[in-house]
Amino acid sequence: MTNIQFAKRLQPLQSNVFADMDRAKALALAAGQQLIDLSLGSSDLPAEAHVIEAIAQSLGDPTTHGYLLFNGTQGFREAAANWYEQKFGIRVDPQTEVLPLIGSQEGTAHLPLALLNPGDFALLLDPGYPSHAGGVYLASGQIYPMPLRAENGFLPVFADIPAPVLAQSRMMVLSYPHNPTAAIAPLSFFQEAVAFCQQHNLALVHDFPYVDLVFAETGDSGLGTGNEFSQYPIHNTQSLAPSILQADLEKNISIEFFTLSKSYNMGGFRIGYAIGNAQLINALRQVKAAVDFNQYRGILNGAIAALSGSQIGVKTAVATFQQRRDAFIAALHRIGWNVPTPHATMYIWAKLPSAWSQNSIEFCTQLVKQTGVAASPGAGFGKSGEGYVRFALVHEPSLLETAVERMAKFLN
């Protein structure tokens, strides 16, 4: 048999947190465990009826069955631009400043191909979402991880980045509300990031899938006032996370990625978009043109209905995840696991008990093996994620409480 030689860029991609946990879940199921899967942030809520109806009506229209080129996405780009302007008050040109994507992950993975030459650095959050690193590896770039620590509100410290790294850097990737830590960044931090990136000639990339999943805390929300919750300082008092373009009003260096997977429960439809600097949008469009056409037009019609129609479903989804968060945190506190209450996303970022503090992968492997509860090990999101575990709130409160009861027996 011929010995096929593969590119070195594939070596860092041989394993990732989701693939590793997928194997562990399969083994647990084969052993007879009843699985409660909290490892993947895939919403279990349904897409809204008016979205499904728009897609269904498209299926019967044969004009939607062919290839869809850029000009054919005009209606979707206008809907995305209008949605953004209504939410953030910033005008967007749908022709030059919006690009449809097959989910925001496609955009963050492809953009390094447009920005990095082999050996160039990308500045990434650590811990951070795995596809951010994957895109850099595919572009034969280098990664400089910016550590996120609880004492800093899980925000990176730009002054800690070495000058030689900055001299070789071409892009910085941020993502707030943050996966996996659930931290929120204030507009002042984004303003600092914009100034820093302008000073060092960096493209500023903001992955923004949790734009809507921010909880408006009212009354006695269980947030507490003592040190117990200092891990999650409330930077935003509004139920709206800031956009990077609010700190870069002229769109000089920034591009922002959005998805309909979280706010509109359309993860399986693979629809997202980028908004930002026209040159960055055009460069990403050139990469996309080499690897794919766009989605089926019917999916874009559904996305238009989602962005331009009633937003009651978004508010319902946010309220649902807030209810689940409260139930899960309360259950963890009852068993003595004093995890801070996050103010955004669909995740709980929990510091592991001391016995497991340096082996999150083994913790998650044994947890699913012995209890059927699947979680994501913090180490899978980067070196600075070690010592933590991420739980996704993708089940009803009663099942989340059952998961905690199983974990209590495991921990004891």
**pLDDT tens figures, 209-222:** 999 999 987 433 33
Given the structure tokens 């895939």, which residue do they identify?
Answer: 42
Question: Once rounded to an integer, what is the mean pLDDT over residues 151-174?
Answer: 97
Whether residue 228 is predicted with pLDDT greater than 60 in this model: the reply is no
Q: Using CA atoms, how far apart are residues 321 and 347, in angstroms rounded to an integer? A: 9
Provide the pLDDT confidence category of residue 408 given band limits of 50, 70 and 90.
Answer: very high
pLDDT at res. 1: 57
Quick check: 242 and 20 in contact, CB under 8 A? no
Sheet holding 203-207, edge to edge: 98-101, 272-276, 254-259, 203-207, 169-174, 121-126, 142-147
pLDDT at res. 224: 33
How do the domains of the chain map onto residue ranges?
Answer: 15-46+313-411, 49-310
Q: Which range has the worst mean pLDDT, 18-22, 108-112, 193-197, 368-372?
A: 18-22
Question: Once rounded to an integer, what is the mean pLDDT over residues 386-398?
Answer: 97
pLDDT at res. 217: 72
pLDDT at res. 225: 31
Q: How many helices (H) and strands (E) does the chain have?
A: 12, 12
Q: What class is the 15-46+313-411 domain?
A: alpha beta
Quick check: 204 and 257 in contact, CB under 8 A? no
3-class DSSP assignment, residue 29:
helix
Question: Once rounded to an integer, what is the mean pLDDT over residues 108-113?
Answer: 96
pLDDT at res. 237: 36
Provide the pLDDT confidence category of residue 2 given band limits of 50, 70 and 90.
Answer: confident
pLDDT at res. 86: 96
pLDDT at res. 223: 32
What mean pLDDT, rounded, does the chain reach? 92
Quick check: 204 and 174 in contact, CB under 8 A? yes
Q: Token digits for 196? A: 């820093």
Q: Which range has the worst mean pLDDT, 116-125, 127-136, 199-208?
A: 127-136
Question: Once rounded to an integer, what is the mean pLDDT over residues 178-203?
Answer: 97
- For 162-271, strand residue ranges (E) read 169-174, 203-207, 254-259
Per CATH, domain 49-310 is 3.40.50.720? no
Provide the pLDDT confidence category of residue 22 given band limits of 50, 70 and 90.
Answer: confident
Cα atoms found within 13 Å of the Cα of residue 75, Cβ hemisphere only:
13
Which candidate, 57, 92, 109, 97, places its Cα nearest to that of 297? Answer: 57
Task: Please state the pTM of the whole predicted model.
Answer: 0.92
Q: Using CA atoms, how far apart are residues 203 and 283, in angstroms rounded to an integer? A: 12
Angle between helices 397-411 and 312-334 (to 10 degrees): 30
Question: Once rounded to an integer, what is the mean pLDDT over residues 139-153?
Answer: 97
Which candidate, 81, 123, 104, places its Cα nearest to that of 258? Answer: 104
Q: What distance lies between CA 93 and its chain's CA centroid?
A: 25
Conformation bin of residue 276: beta by default, left when phi > 0, alpha when psi is -120 to 50? left
Question: Once rounded to an integer, what is the mean pLDDT over residues 238-266?
Answer: 92
- For 155-305, strand residue ranges (E) read 169-174, 203-207, 254-259, 272-276
pLDDT at res. 241: 94
C-alpha to C-alpha distances, 336 to 3, 169, 185, 371, nearest whole angstrom: 55, 44, 29, 18
Residue that wins the pLDDT comparison between 25 and 236: 25
Q: Using CA atoms, how far apart are residues 386 and 208, in angstroms rounded to an integer? A: 24
Whether residue 235 is predicted with pLDDT greater than 70 in this model: the reply is no
Burial of 117 (0-12, 13-18, 19+ CB in 10 A): exposed
Whether residue 177 is predicted with pLDDT greater than 90 in this model: the reply is yes
Q: Using CA atoms, how far apart are residues 341 and 339, in angstroms rounded to an integer? A: 7
Residue that wins the pLDDT comparison between 159 and 233: 159
Provide the pLDDT confidence category of residue 14 given band limits of 50, 70 and 90.
Answer: confident
Whether residue 333 is predicted with pLDDT greater than 90 in this model: the reply is yes
Provide the pLDDT confidence category of residue 357 given band limits of 50, 70 and 90.
Answer: confident
Q: Using CA atoms, how far apart are residues 355 and 369, in angstroms rounded to an integer? A: 18
